Amino acid sequence: MATVPTTTLNYRDVHTRAGTLEVICGCMFAGKTEALLDQVQDRPPHRVRVFKHTVDHRYNPVRVVSHNRRSCPATPITHAIQLLEQVGDDLDFVAIDEGHFFDDQLPQMCSTLLDGGVHVLVTTLDNDCWGRPFPMIDVLRERADVVTVKSSQCGQCGQMATRTQRLTPIVDRVIVGGAESFEPRCVHCWTPPAGSPDQITRVASNTGPCVQQSS
């Protein structure tokens, strides 16, 4: 289990910063990346930068791609601190796709960007395939000006899906998989994977609570 960030919400976090933080979360196949692309395309391209984690190489390693194959250019990074190295004064909007892939420094890096007047959007899973929340994402949600929770349609019964079902076995204790490995499920049709989540090896070092590669 990842270490829960020790930082807590305080007055300064949300009342003196110059940028705004939006978190779009939910299960897989809920349209989170589509929502990101909508916001990106509405802004001047030279003022926007989109980031993704290097472990997320589905579709295209240097583009964020939705399940409907809409896409935009993206900068792959491995550590959250690299956000600060990549964002200059020329940007006023930063979007981070699949935030759950990142390490526990992501909330602090976002706060630094917000203090500098950058508006930040993070899309992320809210729970892993065991139904456990990502502690770092909870910190982000707590600090957000806007939290949008998106849902999908259950792959079994068609009702509203809020959970992600693992469909394929977890090999070598590492949770990696594409669209064929996951399915949105409602609370009634969802079941946790076999085995203890505590025995799972992370997909890469320094990926914090990110142990599930979505698609």
Question: Does residue 71 belong to the site contacting Zn ion (CB under 5 A)?
Answer: no
Stretch of 5-13, 51-59, 85-93, 183-191 lying at the interface with Zn ion (CB under 5 A): 183-191
Q: How many angstroms from the chain centroid is the CA of residue 51? A: 11
Q: Is 98 a catalytic residue?
A: yes
> Could you tell me which residues are beta bridge partners of residue 96?
51, 122
Task: Choose, by CB under 5 A, the member of 2, 14, 77, 189 that binds Zn ion.
Answer: 189
DSSP state of 18: S
First to last CA, the chain: 22
By beta-carbon proximity to Zn ion, the closer residue of 112 and 152 is 152
Helix axis angle, 106-115 to 135-143, nearest 10°: 20
Nearest distance from C-beta of residue 188 to Zn ion, angstroms: 5
Question: Does residue 27 belong to the site contacting Zn ion (CB under 5 A)?
Answer: no
CA distance 147 to 74: 23
The SS3 assignment for 187 reads coil
Stretch of 79-87, 101-109, 142-150, 182-190 lying at the interface with Zn ion (CB under 5 A): 182-190
Task: Choose, by CB under 5 A, the member of 186, 200, 210, 211 that binds Zn ion.
Answer: 186
Stretch of 7-15, 143-151, 188-196, 200-208 lying at the interface with Zn ion (CB under 5 A): 188-196
What character string, x for contact with Zn ion (CB under 5 A) and - otherwise, covers 30-59?
------------------------------
CA distance 173 to 98: 21
Query: Strand 152-153 relative to strand 48-53: parallel, antiparallel, unpaired?
Result: unpaired
Task: Please enumerate in sequence order all residues whose Cβ is within 8 A of that of 64, keeping only pairs 6 or more positions apart, or say none.
Answer: 33, 36, 37, 50, 52, 71, 72, 74, 95, 97
The catalytic position among 34, 85, 98, 183 is: 98
By beta-carbon proximity to Zn ion, the closer residue of 27 and 64 is 27
By beta-carbon proximity to Zn ion, the closer residue of 167 and 189 is 189
Q: Which candidate, 77, 88, 76, places its Cα nearest to that of 47?
A: 88
What character string, x for contact with Zn ion (CB under 5 A) and - otherwise, covers 137-156?
-----------------x-x
Q: How many residues does the chain have?
A: 215
Active-site residue set: 98
Residues at the interface with Zn ion (CB under 5 A)? 154, 156-157, 159, 186, 189
